[in-house]
Amino acid sequence: MGALEVGLPERVPAAGLPSRVEIWEVGPRDGLQNEDTVVPVEVKLEFLDRLAGAGLTTLEATSFVHPKWVPQLADAEQLLAGLDRHEGVRYPVLVPNERGLNRALDAGVNHIAVFASATETFAKRNLNTTLDEQFAMFEPVVTRARAEGLEVRGYLSMCFGDPWEGVVPAAQVVRVGKWLLDTGCSQLSLGDTIGVATTGQVTNLIGSFVAAGVGTESLAVHFHDTYGQALANTEAALRSGVSTVDSSAGGLGGCPYAESATGNLATEDLVWLLEGLGIEHGVDLAKLVETSVWMAGRLGRPSPSRVVNALAG
Ligand code: HMG
Ligand code: MG
């Protein structure tokens, strides 16, 4: 039977691409933080379990943010307590400040992500700080987390465009991003929070980081699909040497503090691309589609992912 009949594209490897991509699954966090209703913790736990069962090895589980700011993830402690950790799977969580770090440490977390803003307006709206005040908030978090032996990722939002400030200058993005890496983050995820980036911008921004001395092995990309560019932008990032890509199962997602943000790049769409390019990804696409169809049933609306709809149909 040919690849298409079993729900996979033909593999046609291309030059100049990584041989393996690490998929950083953000559905349980970036996806569910944006739902109108609060998903019961049992459903979240089953979602995480199914995602691990589909072969994903990095599952961003939840956030230790202020529960009033993101009520959808107010059950972070309960979730971590009930988590059935799969062998070889990492479960990072978002942490904004020292209060969040204390909560994460109490919950036995060993991998966190801080999340900075490349713009002044989004720093205010998402973190209630100025652009520079966010450094004072994150510095003790990163330093203490590292001292406690935790792995720390740094997110950077609004790297390409900001709904209030327009196009974001690459130099401004590189300044904040370099600070995160210099302070102790082992990886920097470049976020197109509102999904407006195009491929030239992606190539240029990654080039700007490389010119500033940042190796592409320290970079990840995080695309939202508002303008349908997420997959094209991902390929541009792969061609620039990036090999960690954030995505969410079924294309769930958005950001409660950036209204123009829609879902993340769907993991299924990403897997289809990677599979077709002969890039190793470790995911069982059929199981993942089944999971997204199940989750769509829990949420009461269909997945926006093209691949989910094509394969589930
Ligand atoms: P604040 O209101 O300025 O906090 O919020 P504060 O430091 O003034 O403290 C006020 C009260 O909140 C205090 O309680 C604190 O203890 C409590 P009180 O003394 O009044 O009783 N508090 C907390 N409680 C629990 N957990 C905490 C915590 N911190 C303070 N961690 C804060 C500042 C940063 C906390 C708030 O702005 C916040 O929680 N923001 C999170 C927003 C968020 O989660 N956004 C979505 C994630 S980012 C994203 O989606 C983008 C990304 O996907 C990449 C991309 O797409 O670009 C990552
Ligand atoms: Mg996001």
Assess if residue 17 is contained within a domain: no
In the sheet that holds 244-247, the strands lie side by side as 58-59, 22-25, 244-247, 219-223, 187-192, 151-157, 111-117, 93-94, 62-63
Q: Is the CB of 222 under 6 A from ligand 1?
A: yes
**pTM of the complete model:** 0.96
Q: How many CA atoms lie within 13 A of 104 on its CB side?
A: 31
User: Is 180 contained in some domain?
Assistant: yes
Protein residue whose Cα sits closest to atom 19 of ligand 1: 99
pLDDT at position 253 is 81
| Nearest protein CA to atom 30 of ligand 1, as residue | 66
pLDDT at 37: 82
Asked, for residue 11, whether it belongs to a domain, the answer is: no
pLDDT at 258 over 70: no
Helix (H, G, I), strand (E, B) or coil at 145: helix
| Per-chain mean pLDDT for the chain | 95
Please identify every residue whose CB atom is under 5 Å from ligand 2, which is an ion: 30
pLDDT of residue 255: 61
Please state whether 93 falls in left (phi above 0), alpha (psi between -120 and 50) or beta: beta
What residue numbers bound the domain in which 130 lies?
Answer: 22-312
Q: Percentage of the chain surpassing pLDDT 70?
A: 96
Q: 10 Å Cβ neighbour count for 147?
A: 9
Please report, for the domain that includes residue 115, its CATH number.
Answer: 3.20.20.70
| Identified catalytic residue from 51, 142, 221, 255 | 255
Q: Which ligand is nearest to the CA of 64?
A: 1
For the segment 18-25, the average pLDDT, to the nearest whole number, is 98
CA distance 274 to 12: 10
pLDDT in tens, 287-308: 999 999 999 999 988 899 999 9
Q: How far is the CA of 221 from the centre of ligand 1 (A)?
A: 23
pLDDT at 53 over 50: yes
Task: Convert the pLDDT of each residue in 259-276 to its tens digit.
Answer: 666 799 999 999 999 999
Q: How many domains does the chain have?
A: 1
- Give the separation between CA 185 and CA 94, rounded to whole angstroms: 13
Q: Does residue 9 lie in a domain region?
A: no
Question: How far apart are the CA of 172 and the centre of ligand 1, in A?
Answer: 23
From the CB of 66, is ligand 1 less than 6 Å away? Answer: yes
Residue 159 catalytic?
no
pLDDT (tens digit per residue) in 91-149: 999 999 999 999 999 999 999 999 999 999 999 999 999 999 999 999 999 999 999 99
- Residue 62, in any domain of the structure: yes
CB of 122 sitting under 6 A from ligand 1:
no
pLDDT for the residue numbered 1 = 43
Does residue 12 lie in a domain region?
A: no
**Which numbered atom of ligand 1 lies nearest the CA of 264?**
56
- Going from the Cα of 189 to the center of ligand 2, the distance in angstroms, rounded, reads 10
Q: What is the mean pLDDT of residues 142-161?
A: 98
**Nearest partner of 277 among 7, 2, 5, 8, judged by Cα:** 8
